[in-house]
Amino acid sequence: MAENDNQGAGKQQDLTKFIGIVLAAMAILFIVSTGVNYVLVDNLVTQRVNSISVSQEELGEEDTSGDELQKGIIVDLGDFILNLCDESQKKYLKVNVAIEVTKKDTDFPAETEETKSSGHGGHGAAAPAADPMEAIQKEMNQYKPAIRDAVITNLSSKTSTELATAAGKELAKEQITNDINSILGGEREVLRVSFGQFIIQ
């Protein structure tokens, strides 16, 4: 009987030791895997953050240089009232369109040259300098009929459903930009097309 008790107590101690070893091994394994996981995730997150930071810095640099190049001259094309191409019922679009075109180096002469030409005494009063914006408007007026035709052709080929969405408007602007750039033939380039009032009835 005592032998059975000793054997039972021995088996229970062995079982307790085994459970203790298994628990200790699991705890060690958990700690090691948690540490490895932490290091891997930390490195991965650090790499992602660095790549995002670099991308944003590059974008920021591009944006600043792009902003300098992207400032142009606004040309108002006026209001348009036109039929849309809906089949079920007649729909009309009233829209105000303006375009922004690139500047040329010759558009705005330097002030120092103007002051030099007007500063020479003894020759009487210098002729007033021509308004650069007036000259640009005159230049763009020669293209206005063709540009307005391109805008009308583009927008009247759309349905009210297409133009009701932001994506549809952006597509129309992109197509109008391409059409006007082909009209301008490289003299100037359209930077953006803007819709002012935009009413579909």
Per residue in 106-122, pLDDT (tens digit) is 776 665 444 445 555 54
Instruction: Assess contact for 170 and 196: CB atoms under 8 A.
Output: no
Q: Is the pTM of this model over 0.75?
A: no
DSSP symbol at 190: E
Q: What is the pLDDT of residue 174?
A: 93
Q: What's the CATH code, domain 73-119+130-200? A: 3.30.479.30
Quote the pLDDT of residue 82. Answer: 92
At 124-138, the pLDDT tens digits run 555 555 677 777 788
CA-CA distance, 54 to 146, in Å (whole number)? 44
The Cα-based distances of 200 to 76, 80, 92, 115, 170 in angstroms read 20, 12, 6, 51, 16
Report for 60-64, 137-141, 144-148: range of highest mean pLDDT:
144-148
What pLDDT digit, counting tens, does each position of 23-56 carry?
998 889 888 888 777 777 777 666 666 666 554 5
Residues 6+ apart with CB under 8 A from 82: 92, 93, 152, 155, 156
Across the chain, mean pLDDT equals: 77
Domain boundaries, the chain: 1-70, 73-119+130-200
pLDDT at 69: 45
CA 47 – CA 149 distance, rounded (Å): 52
Query: What local confidence, expressed as pLDDT, does residue 184 receive?
Result: 87
Q: Please name the residue ranges forming H helices in the chain.
A: 2-70, 111-119, 132-141, 144-156, 160-164, 166-184
Q: Tokens 């953050």 sit at which residue?
A: 49
Specify the pLDDT at position 50.
Answer: 63
Q: Which of 196, 160, 190 is nearest to 175 (CA)?
A: 190
**Whole-number percent of the chain with pLDDT over 70:** 69
